[in-house]
Structure 1
Amino acid sequence: MMVKEIYRAVKFICCIEFWRMSLLWTLSLVISHLRIFALRVWGHKYRNFPRQRVAPISASNRPICIITGATSGLGAAAAKALLEEGFFVILVGRSAHLLSKTKAKIHTLNENAQLETFEVDLSSFSSIMKLKNSLVQWFSDMNLHPSIQLLINNAGILATSYRTTDDGFDEMIMTNYMGAFCLTKVLLPLLIDSPVPSRIVSVSSFTHRNVYDLQVDEEFIYGKPSNFKQYPFAHIYGCSKLCVLLLSYELHQQFCKDKKSQLSVNVADPGAVKTNIMRELPQCLSQLAFLVLNLLGILQIPEKGVSSIIDAALAPPEISGMYFFGGNGRTIRSSPLSYDLMLAKRLWWISSEIFLEMKHKSERSTALSTCD
């Protein structure tokens, strides 16, 4: 077993994606931290925002927060923190067992925690579509206002091999980006209808800085192979996180910039956090990566790394379109490509077309099943 693991690690080291991760990703992370350091030392003007509580719906109803990827790591840490801030937290994950386990663990720490769980697989369009109906029914059963005050798109994977979903998408692109897009589209009416200010926080990554060009088309969204000999997982992961940024900035342009609604949109970059995101890498290499990042002083545990997510969630209601990084309410600029408005609009349009195609396909399938 040890020999097999060593062979796998050696083989992994020989691929270019390993060096993209170990060198370029680390460099991007260090540069982000240096930007914070430079702003502090040389006194350049930078923006940081204090946390504020979100107003309750009524005297008896807490604001509703939905967190995806909430069964471990940053998602679970965000749930604990936002419960303390007065939210009713809905945990969303693809494993009913892990959701129950996380819920029970939180209740042992906070017996008064107001929690609910929904099993949703973000790599499955049909699973995402079922969520809104389940939520509306839940709101009715609980006698709550049918609205959401906070959506945190946290779920993400780092897949080292090419795998397709039942809908024909590359699993990593679907989970990290297209799943978040579809979920956001489905839940937008519930966010917009909130009687108090609402917000979307999407979790991106410093890895987006390594993407210097993005050809947005249907083939890219589906993640179809382009004659690559080896799955370029590090590049695709960075692209998926850039798409999360483009989606967020486009939502900001549509709903927040001209104060058309009470909805705001922010992005959070937690930095390097010790989670199970690298579980598909050879264990010796993931442990080595954590060791190096720890020696550099930039590795965090989830309870610390979640600070940028909470900062983005609890910034004043009028704050939107910001990239939170480094904790203490601090923001920096994301990569120049992430601010390309035409690219963001094109990504939105193509993603929306795919969303509608899948929605119509799903409706036809449901209609046929009903007829049978």
Structure 2
Amino acid sequence: MKTRMVMNELKGILHFICSVQFWRMAVLWTLSVLTSYWQLFVQRLFSQKACCFTRQLPPTTGRTRPVCVITGATSGLGAAAAYALSKEGFSVVLAGRSSQLLSKTMIGIMSRNKDAHVKAFQVDLSSFQSILKFRDSLQQWLLDSNMHVSIQLLINNAGILATSPRLSSEGYDQMMSTNYVGAFFLSKLLLPLLRNSPVPSRIVNVTSFTHRNVFGAQIDNETVTGKYFLRCKDYPFAHVYEFSKLVCLLLFSYELRRQLGLMDNFRHVSVNAADPGVVKTNIMREVPSSISHVAFIVLKLFGLLQLPENGIDSILDAALAPPETSGVYFFGGKGRTLNSSAQSNNSRLAEELWTISCHLYEENKLACKDFSN
């Protein structure tokens, strides 16, 4: 019995290693992170003025703490960023799928920071109804706590790397829903709370260097919902990850910044993107453990692997940059920034993505209203 299990495991590992998606991750993802660090090196060597931003805490009004919402806050980068921002005086709202892990994160933060002000909400970012419920619960909590009904910071950090296809409650690809569509829906639903802020507020979208591997991206309803990828014979999970969490999220960041600039009431809301680099988190949990273990060893030998406590530097830089800083891609810590890929700066693609995403938002909003009635 044990021998059969070992053989099946070895077959699974061999099948994974022989897949195109594995080599896409192993080769292209490594090259893309090296490209980002090379750009930092060239920038430091030849640029007269390296573009770096110093961190600034948002001003407080009276005794009210600034409020920060962090998705994917049950572990890894989300949990580390939550702790760091609690130390900076934020009231931190943890949003995650597992109530058990949320409680564990809360206890961990409060044991290390006795002055921490933390609240947790269970939310599934692949479900519009769950996001809507979270928005309502958050507003009610702010009212019940006699706090200003606003938030100052939203960090869209949640993301998954699913190696097999699965459906969300709306019938979308779950990885597309969690990594991009859910972040779009949440940002749209929380914009009124960001607008209500008496001080400048901000959205930070956590992206990645792997966006550099996507060329000739096609933006339509089928790709944004992930239905196109679900029909593929072999689920292209590495490509879907790049496209969802990365290209779409970056295009969205830049287009949202442009859209907010056109509206008088939203001009004090800024949007930045943060790329943490290679961080040792549990996002690789669906990859065979022996392969992810070897990958982490190799990355550590090259000096590319960071622990979450270090990987959050670019997220904190993006979150705490001066209020007028918007539409900027942070990478490498120390307030440093880079230019993202040409594809992510394609304004035509960004407008197409915005139109399709808004249509999906209205579609789901109407469906939830019909369901309630």
Q: Which amino acid aligns with 1:277?
A: I
5+ residue gaps, structure 2 = none
Alignment match of 1:26 (pick from 24, 30, 40): 30
1:35 Cα deviation from its structure 2 partner: 0.7
> Equivalent residue for 1:244?
249
Q: CA RMSD in A?
A: 1.2
> Equivalent residue for 1:135?
138
CA offset digits 1:11-59 (Å, max 9, x no partner)? 1011100000000000000010111111112345331100001111x22
CA offset digits 1:117-174 (Å, max 9, x no partner)? 0110001110001112111111111011110100000000000001001110100000
> Equivalent residue for 2:278?
272
Identity of aligned residues (%): 55
1:225 Cα deviation from its structure 2 partner: 3.9
Asked if residue 254 in structure 1 is aligned to residue 259 in structure 2, the reply is yes
> Equivalent residue for 2:321?
315
Q: Which amino acid aligns with 2:75?
A: S
Aligned pairs (5 A) from 1:96-111: 96-111=99-114
Cα gap change, 1:258 to 1:319, in 2 (>3 Å): farther
1:258 Cα deviation from its structure 2 partner: 8.4
Alignment match of 2:218 (pick from 210, 215, 219): 215
CA offset digits 1:84-125 (Å, max 9, x no partner)? 111110000011111001101111111221000011000111
| In structure 2, C-alpha distance between the alignment counterparts of 1:211 and 1:8, rounded to whole Å | 27
> Equivalent residue for 1:293?
299
| In structure 2, C-alpha distance between the alignment counterparts of 1:267 and 1:46, rounded to whole Å | 18
| In structure 1, C-alpha distance between the alignment counterparts of 2:263 and 2:234, rounded to whole Å | 45
> Equivalent residue for 1:123?
126
Alignment match of 2:207 (pick from 199, 204, 207): 204
> Equivalent residue for 1:89?
92
1:257 Cα deviation from its structure 2 partner: 7.6
Q: Secondary structure at the match of 2:232?
A: coil
- C-alpha contact (below 8 Å) 1:67/1:153 kept by paired residues: yes
- C-alpha contact (below 8 Å) 1:311/1:328 kept by paired residues: yes
- C-alpha contact (below 8 Å) 1:94/1:119 kept by paired residues: yes
| In structure 1, C-alpha distance between the alignment counterparts of 2:132 and 2:367, rounded to whole Å | 12
Count of matched residue positions in the alignment of Structure 1 and Structure 2: 366
| In structure 2, C-alpha distance between the alignment counterparts of 1:5 and 1:195, rounded to whole Å | 56
| In structure 2, C-alpha distance between the alignment counterparts of 1:36 and 1:277, rounded to whole Å | 26
1:256 Cα deviation from its structure 2 partner: 3.8
Asked if residue 186 in structure 1 is aligned to residue 192 in structure 2, the reply is no
Q: Secondary structure at the match of 2:338?
A: coil
Asked if residue 159 in structure 1 is aligned to residue 129 in structure 2, the reply is no
| In structure 1, C-alpha distance between the alignment counterparts of 2:314 and 2:198, rounded to whole Å | 26
| In structure 2, C-alpha distance between the alignment counterparts of 1:176 and 1:14, rounded to whole Å | 26
Q: Secondary structure at the match of 1:157?
A: coil
If the length of structure 2 is used for normalisation, what is the TM-score? Answer: 0.96
| In structure 1, C-alpha distance between the alignment counterparts of 2:228 and 2:150, rounded to whole Å | 39
- C-alpha contact (below 8 Å) 1:264/1:317 kept by paired residues: yes
- C-alpha contact (below 8 Å) 1:256/1:265 kept by paired residues: no
- C-alpha contact (below 8 Å) 2:89/2:116 kept by paired residues: no
Asked if residue 306 in structure 1 is aligned to residue 309 in structure 2, the reply is no
CA offset digits 1:172-195 (Å, max 9, x no partner)? 000000000000010001101111
Q: Which amino acid aligns with 1:41?
A: L
